[in-house]
Copies of this chain bind each other. A is one copy, B any other.
Amino acid sequence: MSADPTQTDPDKYKVVFENDRVRVLEYRDKPGDRTSPHRHPDTVMFTMSAFERRLIRGDQQRDVQLDAGRVNWLAAQEHSGENIGATDSHALFVELKEPPRRSPESAVELGPTSGS
């Protein structure tokens, strides 16, 4: 389960920029849409709309409510997601290609961490 989201959900995740250090994805979905299990590297996420999302990893799940125009951090992780709100999701993901210099993923919170 280390699948690239542009391969598991190509209708929702589009590559809008890529070079040797980063890849930038644009994400869009509609209420009720779900993604297949996929993997994110360490990522800066910008919310372009407000949306509500359920993140699922194994038997864990976490519901998050995200405001528009916010910067969030998504630590490297595998999950799937579901739009559980009433609004379309629109977000940008700046993926860092270099590997994290950090402890194992088990310590990582499911889903994004609030920034500003």
Contacts and interface: CB of A to CB of B under 8 A. Distances in A.
Given A94-B94, A96-B96, A98-B98, A44 B73 contact: no
Interface residues of A, number: 21
Given A17-B116, A98-B98, A100-B21, A71 B42 contact: no
A24 B71 contact: yes
Contact of A22 (B16, B96, B116): B96
User: Copies per complex?
Assistant: 2
Interface in A22-75: 22, 24, 42, 44, 46, 71-73
Given A16-B115, A22-B96, A44-B44, 12 more contacts: A16-B116, A17-B115, A17-B116, A19-B73, A20-B101, A21-B96, A22-B44, A22-B94, A24-B115, A24-B116, A46-B92, A96-B96
5 contacts: A17-B44, A17-B71, A21-B42, A21-B100, A44-B44
